[in-house]
């Protein structure tokens, strides 16, 4: 009997890649999305990769009745909750928007999980919960630091909601995956990142500069205490990241969790500086990028990368793609979008 996974935010960047991997691993997937931050490009891409339509429900997870109806209609074995706002800067300007959307939508998921007598809940968390880490690489035992934005606060709070609900409500089990920096696109170039307006994140800004949509990439700071002075991150390929979700869901539905609430870092363990990433992009794609050094961006941490050994051992998952392969995929996607 096939298991059914509900993917909230399934039309987005991460949700669409996870949907593809889940279906290819033999799961039935129900996609739900309010399309507030995307169009149907990725949904259509998912259907063409898989060669069939998937159940798609346009709905807002802040509507508790709608979430309960969804759970009543489909026999949901696991829910993966991606539906959330994610722009760090905007969350500082509009905290209420972030608190209302990101917290309420997850509370509704947990409420539905509880009222149907339990469910496996996978929460999409972030390395942002570690703040500026004292020790590198960070393990799941590294302390969470006070969040530097309301966006980061919502990630911490939702982790706590999940932990507490698992403790209180029988049958509710949870995994939080803490992503480092997801980048890239599906090798088919049919799904990928679709930022609205000016991208906040590095790789979409790089690809849009390379294609000519942006004039020049600003590298935010080259006076950090790192080898080349630019910040270091753990860039994780989006397909590798998606596969970690399949491993986590399978661990839950097969009853192989060691504790009812578990946390895993999803990263490569490989720090890459901004300049190294730009150089790798230029080299693998055979082009020159227009960039300049600009002032530091407020709120950026100097360096953060994962110790992914817990996920390697417990989930049987490992990041496989090189940063070059991933940057080639990101560029293929940008060209696909531009019709080139």
Nearer to ligand UD1, 29 or 88 (CB): 88
Q: Which residues bind ligand UD1 (CB under 6 A)?
A: 88, 126, 128, 148-149, 151-152, 181-182, 200-202, 205, 217-220, 231, 233, 274, 297, 299-300
What would the DSSP string read from start to end of 30-92?
A: EEEE--SS--SHHHHHHHHHHTS---EEE--TT-HHHHHHHHHHS--SEEEE--S---HHHHH
* Distance of alpha carbon 285 from alpha carbon 335, whole angstroms: 12
Per the residue annotation, which of 27, 98, 151, 224 is the catalytic one?
151
Query: Strands 232-233 and 217-220, how do they pair?
Result: unpaired
Structure-token pair, residue 5 = 């996974």
Choose among 153, 154, 125: nearest CA to 140: 125
Smallest distance, Å, CB 315 to ligand UD1? 20
Note whether 266 and 219 are within 8 A (CB): no
Smallest distance, Å, CB 63 to ligand UD1? 26
Burial 266-303 (b: 16+ CB within 10 A, else e): bbbbbbbbbbbbbebbbebbeeeeebeeeeeeeeebeb
Number of H helices, E strands in the chain: 12, 13
Nearer to ligand UD1, 4 or 124 (CB): 124
User: 63-70: which pairs have CB atoms within 8 A and are 24 or more residues apart?
Assistant: 63/108, 64/108, 64/111, 64/112, 67/108, 67/109, 67/111, 67/112, 68/108, 68/111, 68/112, 68/115, 70/6, 70/30, 70/32, 70/112
Smallest distance, Å, CB 148 to ligand UD1? 6
Smallest distance, Å, CB 259 to ligand UD1? 25
Residue 235 bears catalytic tag: no
Smallest distance, Å, CB 201 to ligand UD1? 3
Nearer to ligand UD1, 3 or 245 (CB): 245
Structure-token pair, residue 328 = 């080639």
Structure-token pair, residue 140 = 């799941």
Nearer to ligand UD1, 30 or 330 (CB): 330
Structure-token pair, residue 310 = 């817990």
Smallest distance, Å, CB 281 to ligand UD1? 12
Nearer to ligand UD1, 22 or 219 (CB): 219
Nearer to ligand UD1, 186 or 233 (CB): 233
Residues with active-site annotation: 151
């Amino acid at each position: 009997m096939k298991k059914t996974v509900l993917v909230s935010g399934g039309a987005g960047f991460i949700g669409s890649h996870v949907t593809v991997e889940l279906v290819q691993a033999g799961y039935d997937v129900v996609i739900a999305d309010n399309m507030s931050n995307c169009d149907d490009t990725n949904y259509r891409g998912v259907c063409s990769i898989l060669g069939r339509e998937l159940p798609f429900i346009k709905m807002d997870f802040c509507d508790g009745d709608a979430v309960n109806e969804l759970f009543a209609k489909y026999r949901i074995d696991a829910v993966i909750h991606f539906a959330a706002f994610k722009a760090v800067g905007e969350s500082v300007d509009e905290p209420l928007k972030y608190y209302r959307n990101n917290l309420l939508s997850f509370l509704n998921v947990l409420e539905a999980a509880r009222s149907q007598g339990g469910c496996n809940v996978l929460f999409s968390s972030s390395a942002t919960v570690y703040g500026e880490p004292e020790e590198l690489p960070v393990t799941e035992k590294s302390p969470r630091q006070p969040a530097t934005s309301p966006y980061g606060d919502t990630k911490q709070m939702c982790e706590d909601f999940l932990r507490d609900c698992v403790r209180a409500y029988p049958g509710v089990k949870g995994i939080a995956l803490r992503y480092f920096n997801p980048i890239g696109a599906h090798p088919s170039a049919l799904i990928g990142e679709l930022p609205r307006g000016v991208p906040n994140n590095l790789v979409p800004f790089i690809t849009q500069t390379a294609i000519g949509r942006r004039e020049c990439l600003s590298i935010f700071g080259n006076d950090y205490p790192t080898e080349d002075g630019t910040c270091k991150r753990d860039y994780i390929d989006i397909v590798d990241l998606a596969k970690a979700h399949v491993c986590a869901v399978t661990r839950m539905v097969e009853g192989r969790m060691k504790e009812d609430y578990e946390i895993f870092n999803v990263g490569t363990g490989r720090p890459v500086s901004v300049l190294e990433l730009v150089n790798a992009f230029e080299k693998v794609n055979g082009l020159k990028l227009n960039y300049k050094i600009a002032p530091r961006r407020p709120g950026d941490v100097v360096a953060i990368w994962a110790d992914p050994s817990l996920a390697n051992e417990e989930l049987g998952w490992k990041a496989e793609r090189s940063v070059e392969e991933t940057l080639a995929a990101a560029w293929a996607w940008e060209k696909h979008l531009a019709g080139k």
